[in-house]
Structure 1
Amino acid sequence: MEILIPLLIILAKIVGLTFMVVLPLVPVCVYFERRFSAVIQDRVGPNRVGIPLTLFGGKKDIPLFGIVQPVADAVKLLLKEDFTPTNVRTAFYWLAPALTIVPSLVTVCVIPFGSPLTVNGEEIKLVIADLDVGPLFIFAVSSLTVYGITLAGWSSNSKYPFIGGVRSTAQMISYEICLGLSIIPVLMWYGDLNLSNIVEHQSKNGWLLLPFWGESAPWNNGGDYTAWLFWFPAVIAFLIFTISIFAETNRMPFDLPECETELVGGYHTEYSSMKFAMFFMGEYAAMVIGSALIVTLFLGGWSLGPSFDQWSAGLEIGSVGIGGLLGLAVFMAKLIVFILFFILVRWTVPRFRYDQLMRLGWIIFFEVALINVFLGALVIAAPHLGIVITLVGAVLLAAVSSALIWVLKVSDKREDPNTGLLASN
């Protein structure tokens, strides 16, 4: 019995957080994508797909603002013919969609969705696996997604899917390096790899991008401005990490692996029915997890400030503390706002060329993220080094950064637009 109760709690968290929180967000994202893009393009989005009462003898359907559109999409994909071309490598062709969606769902395990619930005095964390290596686990598992995309392109035995798979391999490997480097200053600042502890720290001492309460505020720590100075490397890390998430999830303006103007549909051109839907779900699930990690590391996770967190922690219904459910609501609100930002970027920023994509990842983000690691370390160590050593370190960092930028500028020679095939025109 002592073993059964913890197992039931773990099972409840897996079912609740994965299949009742993250997976339902996928059709919600699809609906938001359709409606938001319609607003941006000044057209009518889905606004009539609702409850079809006329099918059951009613006089009028209930439109419900078109929110049943994701259900219609799912039914359409389920009823389409599950066609497998004869020239594909069948085993890998069937395996690829699963390798795309499964890693995205497994990474949910370490995301803290809310503050702990209290049941009969026992604390239950709203995280499936409270690992001490949360970000490393996410990077390790999510990197497996590239195998699914690469296998999809290779196993299709078709030119355009293969090109899409190769593109995705180069793109995801390039930007995973930027992702890892960009959060090193953040992890140095927290001194912890446990995502739950990171959110707790932000709840008490200010969000990383809003250090205005707790020990981060100078008026509460005796005039120490370290947290405010660290805001600059934190913003650089936030920008690199966010843009790299766009590239990791193959979202515009980095959707080169599935660029329809060049590759028909990219690595999933030969897929149909639910196999195609699994690629679709994997992309949106990765977008949700990427947004959740950004919210957790930079924007306080489930925290809404110390006043709200302390007030919600004391809310109880009988012997059950429900503060964690309010934290879950706060986390979901932040998550949806960031998902809307993803959608806004997709429909407003034009697609990069592939050489621009690689240049941004290897020549710009890689070097900037590396310099930012030293900048973050200098800010963190400055109170212990003294003014003179800190200034010397800042001058050395500026000199090395300037030299690196000069070398990159000299070595990165771009082709003259009047050469090549167009030279004679």
Structure 2
Amino acid sequence: MSGLTITALGTSTAGLLPAWGVPEYTVADFSDTTWWLVLIKAIFIVLFLILSVIMALWVERRALGRMQTRHGPNVAGPLGLLQAIADAGKMLFKEEIWTKRSDKFLYFLAPVIMAFAAFSVLAVIPFGPNVNMFGHSTPLMVTDMPVATLYILAITSLGVYGVVLGGWSARSTLPLYGAVRSSAQMVSYELSMGMALVSVFLMAGTMSTSEIVASQGSVWWAFALAPAFVIYLISMVGEVNRLPFDLPEAEGELVAGHMTEYSSMKFGWYYLAEYINMLNVSAVAATMFLGGWHAPWPFSHIAPLNDGWWGMFWLIFKIWVLMFAMIWTRGTLLRLRYDQFMNLGWKGLIPVALVWIVLVAVMRGVQTWVSGSWLVLFTVMLAVVILVAVVVYLVATPSDQGEEEGVDPDAPFDAFLGGYPAPPVLGQKLPPSPRAGRAKVAVTAVAETDETIPAIQEDSND
């Protein structure tokens, strides 16, 4: 295999697992890469993302249709495969609408920022090892750097501006609400997402994406760092505003959130960026926790299936497994209330992530003077204990509405008890509506008027 071997990473995985027939993993080597090869790979990334979004739209509609006992798209092309292309054509030729009060420059710039940030993430994701391309040995990635993961976090943070500016520049109420929600949501869940990745940095000893992939030769970090992996999975769904966390564009409350006042391809750029971001967070999860482009066990021990162009197949396969999990989540779970969603991030994920970082740091310190595969067993047991503690905490936490048992039926109902408007629980009754009293008075007044008019007429006739 070409490129640098995993030994270049020092002791990043030493002592974690016994190396029983572990294949030799490599990191990227750009010494023979030319500028036109970089250009070819960049064009491939753009085309891959656009075609993947078209396929994701079809897969999501068909999958949700099956989950909801309906057909889904089945008219445009065989099995409805051309439905996404038809929708793209509709957006291209739709009439452009510009709101009169909007800030025209920022109104146009916002979706451009969103799309630019979405297309930039995969530049540092390794799709495979060094391969022979037009007589040159080059890795299947556009570029790599010592702080590649920080680059990913910075680009995803830049996408927040596209959402916030889009809602603010429209000068409309519902888009502004969606923008404010999104800024709080994305900042909150970027914190937990970044903390989940810190434990990977500690164990791999690097922030380079290709080196992080190479460091998973003995064990995937999804198993050795299970709590961090779970935190990342939850955070990535909140980061891309997908159900049950699609609060910035909740259809029942905000119509379409920050995109309400957009039409045609300005709306299309937002729509495209949403699905590209789903691919991005899935690719980052596969790279950081699921071995990247390496084949899963036992295929990893078959040399031809764990090298060369096969790396693209395995990475794309892992991306689509995570994509389908997000689609499945959308078809299964209900939308959370906004206060529940923020509590989950600030009171659940972030504290657990901080505790886990400390434990991993302590483990790395212990590993410098104690070696042995028992550390893996210790890590797994610790992960199980923390996961059980989190589940118990979430299940045992009382609801804002209180327990349904023991509710006094005669107690006055307070819809804002607990700090958020809520319907009555079983046993409680709604207080009498003041409108009902006003309506009764109005009906009585009308009846009295109807009786008074004939009497006045008789008096006038006399």
Q: What range is the shorter-chain TM-score in?
A: 0.7 to 0.9
Verify the 8 A CA contact 1:31 1:69 in the aligned structure 2.
yes
Q: Do structure 1's residue 375 and structure 2's residue 359 form an aligned pair?
A: yes
Q: Do structure 1's residue 300 and structure 2's residue 313 form an aligned pair?
A: no
> Structure 1 CA distance, aligned partners of 2:32 and 2:221?
39
> Structure 2 CA distance, aligned partners of 1:156 and 1:327?
44
Secondary structure of the corresponding residue to residue 205 of structure 1? coil
Verify the 8 A CA contact 1:164 1:263 in the aligned structure 2.
yes
Q: Do structure 1's residue 34 and structure 2's residue 61 form an aligned pair?
A: yes
Q: How does the TM-score come out when normalised to structure 2?
A: 0.73
Match of residue 23 from structure 1: 50
Match of residue 99 from structure 1: 113
The range that moved more, 329-338 or 30-39, is 329-338
Query: What does residue range 242-391 of structure 1 map to in structure 2 within 5 Å?
Result: 242-305=233-296, 307=300, 310-312=303-305, 323-384=307-368
> Structure 2 CA distance, aligned partners of 1:48 and 1:140?
42
RMSD between aligned residues: 2.9
| Equivalent position to 2:221, from 199, 202, 208 | 208
Match of residue 14 from structure 1: 42
CA gap of 1:75–1:134, structure 2 versus 1, over 3 A, is same
Structure 2: gaps (5+ residues): 1-30, 403-412, 417-423, 432-462
Higher helix share: 1
> Structure 1 CA distance, aligned partners of 2:258 and 2:63?
26
> Structure 2 CA distance, aligned partners of 1:383 and 1:152?
49
> Structure 2 CA distance, aligned partners of 1:312 and 1:152?
45
Verify the 8 A CA contact 2:148 2:209 in the aligned structure 1.
yes
- Deviation string for 1:150-206 (max 9, x for gaps)? 11111111100000000000001111111111111111111111111121222x323
Shift of 1:309: 6.2
Match of residue 82 from structure 1: 96
CA gap of 1:371–1:262, structure 2 versus 1, over 3 A, is same
Shift of 1:288: 0.3
| Equivalent position to 1:419, from 414, 420, 423 | 414
CA gap of 1:349–1:83, structure 2 versus 1, over 3 A, is same
Query: What does residue range 98-177 of structure 1 map to in structure 2 within 5 Å?
Result: 98-119=112-133, 122-177=136-191
> Structure 2 CA distance, aligned partners of 1:362 and 1:138?
22
> Structure 2 CA distance, aligned partners of 1:293 and 1:309?
25
CA gap of 1:413–1:89, structure 2 versus 1, over 3 A, is farther
- Deviation string for 1:63-122 (max 9, x for gaps)? x21111111111111111111121211111101111111111111110111222124774
Partner AA of 1:102 in structure 2: F
Verify the 8 A CA contact 2:164 2:180 in the aligned structure 1.
yes
Verify the 8 A CA contact 2:221 2:289 in the aligned structure 1.
yes
Question: 4+ runs of 1 displaced by more than 6 Å?
Answer: none
> Structure 2 CA distance, aligned partners of 1:254 and 1:146?
16
> Structure 1 CA distance, aligned partners of 2:400 and 2:64?
36
Partner AA of 2:120 in structure 1: V
CA gap of 1:355–1:246, structure 2 versus 1, over 3 A, is same
Partner AA of 1:340 in structure 2: F
> Structure 1 CA distance, aligned partners of 2:233 and 2:107?
31
Secondary structure of the corresponding residue to residue 123 of structure 1? strand
Verify the 8 A CA contact 2:114 2:269 in the aligned structure 1.
yes
Partner AA of 2:144 in structure 1: D
> Structure 2 CA distance, aligned partners of 1:121 and 1:149?
44
Secondary structure of the corresponding residue to residue 117 of structure 1? strand
Verify the 8 A CA contact 2:279 2:319 in the aligned structure 1.
yes
Match of residue 60 from structure 1: none
Percent of pairs with identical residues: 35
Partner AA of 1:243 in structure 2: I
> Structure 1 CA distance, aligned partners of 2:83 and 2:38?
33
Q: How does the TM-score come out when normalised to structure 1?
A: 0.79
> Structure 2 CA distance, aligned partners of 1:278 and 1:343?
20
Match of residue 189 from structure 1: 203
> Structure 2 CA distance, aligned partners of 1:66 and 1:100?
29
Shift of 1:33: 0.8
Secondary structure of the corresponding residue to residue 124 of structure 1? strand
Structure 1: gaps (5+ residues): 51-63, 211-230, 314-322
> Structure 2 CA distance, aligned partners of 1:296 and 1:107?
12
Shift of 1:287: 0.6
CA gap of 1:94–1:119, structure 2 versus 1, over 3 A, is closer
